[in-house]
Amino acid sequence: MEGNLMLGFLVFFPMVGAGISYLIGRKNETVRDYAADVIVTLEFAAMLYVAFVSYKAHGISGSAEQVFGYNPFVFRIPEFCGMGMNLVVYSGFRVLYGLIASFMWLLSTLFSREYFARYKNRNRYYLFMLVTLGATMGIFLSADLYTTFIFFELMSFTSYVWVAHDEKADSLRAAETYLAVAVMGGLVMLMGIFLLYHTTGTLTMLNLYEMCADIMSGTGMEYEVQRKKLYIAGACMLFGFGAKAGAFPLHIWLPKAHPVAPAPASALLSGILTKTGIFGILVLSCNIFLHDGKWGTLILVIGVITMTVGAVLALFSVNLKRTLACSSVSQIGFILVGIGMQGLLGDENSLAVRGSLLHMVNHSLFKLVLFMAAGVVYMNIHKLDLNEIRGFGRKKPLLHFIFLMGAMGIGGIPLWNGYVSKTLIHESIVEYMEALQIGRISESFLSVGAMKGIEWIFLISGGCTVAYMLKLYVALFIEKNRDSALQEKYDAMRGTYMNKVSAAALTAGALLFPVMGILPGMIMDKIADMGEDFMHSAAESTIRYFSITNLKGALVSILIGLIIYLVLIRKGMMKKEGNETVYADRWNKYWDLEEAVYRPLLLKVLPMIFGVVCRILDSLPDGIVVLLRKTIYKDSKIPHELKEGNFLTHAIGMEMDHVVHLLNRTVWKKAPRKEEYEHKLALKHEELAEDSTIIGRSLSFGLLLFCTGLILTLVYLLWV
């Protein structure tokens, strides 16, 4: 090990702490809970220290030679898994997401103490939660894609336990889906990493930036071939990173995993683990395909589809956590739109860079608060269906405030932080359309009309966010439960539905949203500045967040959201049951992409196709052998063909049979014998051959031969 041990501490301390807390938990669970709190608190404090030191050394160079020479912001374990493990803190982005990850783990761990009070297998949960923290920190601090891949796979396998925690049928099936997507994504990603290393000779991110810039800008046949290899490698890695991010069409695990996973785990899965996938996509977009129009168009299209599909799924959902999970899919789409616009805008991508980074940060914090608020509901009544939890939040002002802050923030309401990031992404789309109109961008795969359509999809998806969050808010805090006795029970929980530690954790997260939104220049711009070096922002740009033009875009989305809520949700997605109106599940099970396409394809169609192909390929050699046996290698016609035994048993047996036949006609004429000695000798030969084979393959016989050989060797040496 060499370099700054503090970086190694950030990755390996939670893993060591996981083992310690597990051993403590076997003796005393209460002490274990406090031990876990101490571990995540120390992790957050260590990350704050690293952030402070890196801020003090703001003049640190970003060149590959200086970073990977002697540098206090590097930690290396040479030859780790063959290629070594490299951790770095040379960019503000890594510091930022190290802080966010450790902060989110701190709050979710504090909340977990109350949430898991009546759960089984709590010791197992804390073990894998802390190991996952270390792996996640390893991803955000990784200096090369090989290190990223190692921690990425470790994180996938440890977080699988979160999804399967309840061990119910739904939990295990969702965990199966999560693991299948993670494993397939990891294998395809590894193929891309191999091809990238073969093409460039390096996996170090800074070196990739320099190498790939030359390849992408070079001319000639050799560069053309290398570019094709880069695109193939990039597509493979995009598959793997996109699977973890929840991008379409690999988003299927999110709506399945979140409703069954414990709420603190859901907060981390949605808020931070999906960002590890986004981190990988940013590495590809900002180090390999920087300012590349083809790559930017691909990411933009995937983002638009993901944004729309997630919003539609959330509108149809009648489960609290499933709605939030589908919302995560949609918000990941917003982020991908921003990343795609970075590639399209080229040297003028500052708005897209700042918007995509800020929406990453905002979404992490939104889902931390909203999933923990959903956890408060579940740990009290163990229900998530909107019709059953209806009215739970009435007469609970603190929970009301917490959820409202999260809903306003994610809905992009002015004066909340979500408005700032969505406005920046929207303005990057408008900026690109203007550049196309005046001819500043000559080569583009998208016309002005196509970009106008994307802008409207963006605004409508933002409106859908307002609509489904309004649906959740009204169901929880405005409407009354149709069962009056149940509503009285909910109202009686006032003041007892969560303890002070949980309340402090949720309130601390919720207060960030209006503060960040009211002071975007002082807070949000400073956060955005931290990511510009990592994303290679080409130019600075200033924006008046509360100008009439920018406010108009947000107000259009809000108006669309109100119309969708009043018309589509209240009229089309609710039904009458007696005198009451209830939320109806209008989602057709045949629209489920996993059940309709992926499982039949992977479990039935592909096995059948490959089975037929293998049967055909298997029959071809057999047919050739039979043909040769009947033609070239046809048996010669001899009077007696040997079917069993060997030549010796055949000869002796025939002579003995002749003797028996002679004796039967003379001496044994009255009592002839029917033994066939040829057959008996052949069977005896086969038995002896089988016994010798068993003996020859046995361990004791091998040891006996070894000892015999060793003794003979010693005798020979002594003799000589």
Looking at residue 563, what is its pLDDT?
Answer: 94
Range of the domain at 349: 166-577
In this predicted structure, the answer to whether residue 538 has a pLDDT above a threshold of 70 is no
Kind and range of the H or E element at 581?
Answer: strand 580-583
Same domain (yes/no): 599, 571: no
Same domain (yes/no): 563, 668: no
In this predicted structure, the answer to whether residue 633 has a pLDDT above a threshold of 80 is no
Looking at residue 364, what is its pLDDT?
Answer: 93
Separation of alpha carbons 246 and 61, rounded Å: 34
Average pLDDT value for residue range 110-117: 88
The conformation of residue 643, written as its DSSP 8-state character, comes to -
Instruction: Say which residue, 648 or 106, is predicted with more confidence.
Output: 106
Is residue 491 helix, strand or coil? helix
574 — phi, psi (to 5°)? -130, 155
Contact by Cβ (8 Å): 152, 139? yes
Q: Which residues, other chains included, contact 500 with Cβ-Cβ below 8 Å and sequence gap of 6+?
A: none
Q: pLDDT band at residue 639, thresholds of 50, 70 and 90?
A: very low
In this predicted structure, the answer to whether residue 621 has a pLDDT above a threshold of 60 is yes
Separation of alpha carbons 685 and 679, rounded Å: 10
Contact by Cβ (8 Å): 354, 453? no
Cα-trace Rg, the chain: 34
Separation of alpha carbons 119 and 131, rounded Å: 20
Same domain (yes/no): 205, 287: yes
- Residue 38 covered by a domain: no
DSSP 248-302: TTS-THHHHHHHHS-HHHHHHIIIIIHHHHHHHHHHIIIIISTT-HHHHHHHHHH
In this predicted structure, the answer to whether residue 214 has a pLDDT above a threshold of 70 is yes
Q: Which of 548, 577, 606 is the last residue of a domain?
A: 577
Contact by Cβ (8 Å): 323, 468? yes
Same domain (yes/no): 423, 530: yes
Same domain (yes/no): 389, 249: yes
Q: What is the per-residue pLDDT across 150-200, written as a single tens digit (0 to 9) for each?
A: 999 999 999 989 898 888 888 888 888 888 888 899 989 999 999 999 888
Instruction: Say which residue, 217 or 31, is predicted with more confidence.
Output: 31
Our count of domains for the chain comes to: 2
- Residue 232 covered by a domain: yes
Contact by Cβ (8 Å): 372, 111? yes
Q: Which residues, other chains included, contact 154 with Cβ-Cβ below 8 Å and sequence gap of 6+?
A: 131, 135, 138
Both structure tokens of 112: 């977990």
Contact by Cβ (8 Å): 388, 380? no
- The CA-based diameter of the chain, rounded to the nearest angstrom, is 126
Q: What is the per-residue pLDDT across 467-519, written as a single tens digit (0 to 9) for each?
A: 999 999 999 999 888 888 888 888 888 878 888 998 999 999 999 999 999 99
In this predicted structure, the answer to whether residue 263 has a pLDDT above a threshold of 50 is yes
Same domain (yes/no): 523, 601: no
Separation of alpha carbons 374 and 649, rounded Å: 83
Looking at residue 63, what is its pLDDT?
Answer: 40
Query: Which of these, 645, 685, 424, 434, lies nearest to 532 by C-alpha position?
Result: 424
| CA distances (Å), origin 217, targets 280, 346, 442 | 23, 13, 17
Kind and range of the H or E element at 240?
Answer: helix 221-245
Q: What is the per-residue pLDDT across 58-75, written as a single tens digit (0 to 9) for each?
A: 544 444 333 333 345 788
- Residue 100 covered by a domain: no
Q: What is the mean pLDDT of the chain?
A: 84
In this predicted structure, the answer to whether residue 669 has a pLDDT above a threshold of 70 is yes
**Distance linking the first and last C-alpha atoms of the chain:** 52
Looking at residue 715, what is its pLDDT?
Answer: 67
Looking at residue 474, what is its pLDDT?
Answer: 93
Separation of alpha carbons 186 and 159, rounded Å: 14
Q: Which burial class, exposed, middle or buried, applies to 614 when counting CB atoms under 10 A from its CB (0-12, 13-18, 19+)?
A: exposed
Q: What is the per-residue pLDDT across 552-589, written as a single tens digit (0 to 9) for each?
A: 888 999 999 999 999 999 888 888 877 788 888 888 77
- Residue 403 covered by a domain: yes
Q: Which of 249-263, 561-575, 646-660 has the lowest mean pLDDT?
A: 646-660
Q: Which of 549, 577, 605 is the last residue of a domain?
A: 577
Separation of alpha carbons 538 and 149, rounded Å: 28
Q: Which of 39-53, 294-308, 497-511, 638-652 has the lowest mean pLDDT?
A: 638-652
Same domain (yes/no): 371, 449: yes
Separation of alpha carbons 461 and 556, rounded Å: 11
Same domain (yes/no): 573, 601: no
Q: Which of 577, 606, 625 is the last residue of a domain?
A: 577
Same domain (yes/no): 492, 621: no
Same domain (yes/no): 199, 243: yes
Instruction: Say which residue, 716 or 249, is predicted with more confidence.
Output: 249
- Residue 294 covered by a domain: yes
Query: Which of these, 178, 148, 127, 176, lies nearest to 22 by C-alpha position?
Result: 127
Q: How many residues does the chain have?
A: 720
- Residue 93 covered by a domain: no
Q: ∠ at Cα 246 (240, 250), nearest 5°?
A: 65
Q: Which residues, other chains included, contact 495 with Cβ-Cβ below 8 Å and sequence gap of 6+?
A: none
Q: Which of 127-136, 352-361, 508-517, 533-542 has the lowest mean pLDDT?
A: 533-542
Q: Which of 347-361, 456-470, 696-710 has the lowest mean pLDDT?
A: 696-710
Same domain (yes/no): 611, 548: no
Q: What is the per-residue pLDDT across 320-332, written as a single tens digit (0 to 9) for each?
A: 999 999 999 999 9
Q: pLDDT band at residue 702, thresholds of 50, 70 and 90?
A: low
Query: Which of these, 12, 83, 89, lies nearest to 48 by C-alpha position?
Result: 89
Is residue 87 helix, strand or coil? strand
Average pLDDT value for residue range 289-304: 91
Q: pLDDT band at residue 692, thresholds of 50, 70 and 90?
A: low
| CA distances (Å), origin 683, targets 434, 646, 647, 649, 695 | 92, 10, 13, 9, 18
E strands, 13-118, in order: 74-77, 85-88
- Residue 105 covered by a domain: no
DSSP β-bridge partners for residue 204 = 144
- Residue 698 covered by a domain: yes
Between β-strands 85-88 and 74-77, what pairing exists: parallel, antiparallel or unpaired?
antiparallel
Count helices and strands in the chain by DSSP H and E runs: 30, 5
Contact by Cβ (8 Å): 432, 441? yes
Q: pLDDT band at residue 441, thresholds of 50, 70 and 90?
A: confident
Same domain (yes/no): 297, 432: yes
In this predicted structure, the answer to whether residue 703 has a pLDDT above a threshold of 60 is no
